[in-house]
Amino acid sequence: MNYEILVAFMFSTAALAISPGPDNIFVLVQSLTNGKKYGIATVAGLMTGCLVHATLLAFGVSAIIKQHEYLFFAIKLFGASYMFYLAYMVFRGPDELVVSGESEKNKKSLGALFRQGFIMNVLNPKVGIFFLAFFPGFLFSDTIDTVVQFYVLAFIFMGVSFVIFSAIAILSGSISDYITQNKNLGKILKWLQIIVFVGIGIYLLISDN
């Protein structure tokens, strides 16, 4: 077993998680909107979705998706449609920003945000393709079964990303008092959520294989 490869994989994963992207922006917005524990629930959903892509990769389904253009496009279309649906639901919602302790009836539950993060991850075929491109270069043993190695890499990826994304959630949630005192931020964050959802949807539609 080559531990140097695993260490390199951990640092590469950390660099990817820290880099600005749709997932950490999504976590940031949810944490600001709902509170830090809700942001962490979103992170948990996103990371759990990685298991689906890791399983597809380990058993070769990701390769099949990459090779069949129409199947890949159908998954992209379904994922994009879900993103647009989420954007529409945010658009229909109130402009006021609801943070912990104000109006519980307007807040999403921990389970709802977990499911939303999970579905958002699973319906993004680019994650599977990214895993397909990223993971094989970090296989670390000539004796351990390849399927097992892919799962080890997946759990490392999930663990490192969970720590970094949770830090984003905790830091963003710590300023909720400031947000409560500045009601105009509600409309800004509402439209930021819409932009993020629509942006991800458009990205899925226009991205190449």
20-26, long-range: CB < 8 A, 24+ apart: 22/196, 22/199, 22/200, 22/203, 23/121, 23/165, 24/164, 24/165, 24/168, 25/192, 25/196, 26/117, 26/120, 26/196
Residue 9 predicted with pLDDT over 50 = yes
> Residue 40: left if φ>0, alpha if ψ -120 to 50, beta else—which one?
alpha
CA 173 – CA 32 distance, rounded (Å): 5
CA 18 – CA 168 distance, rounded (Å): 9
Would the pTM count as exceeding 0.75? no
Structure token pair of residue 114: 């977990």
Residue 22 predicted with pLDDT over 70 = yes
Type of residue found at 93: G
CA 126 – CA 19 distance, rounded (Å): 17
In the prediction, which pLDDT does 25 show? 77
Residue 99 predicted with pLDDT over 90 = no
In the prediction, which pLDDT does 71 show? 72
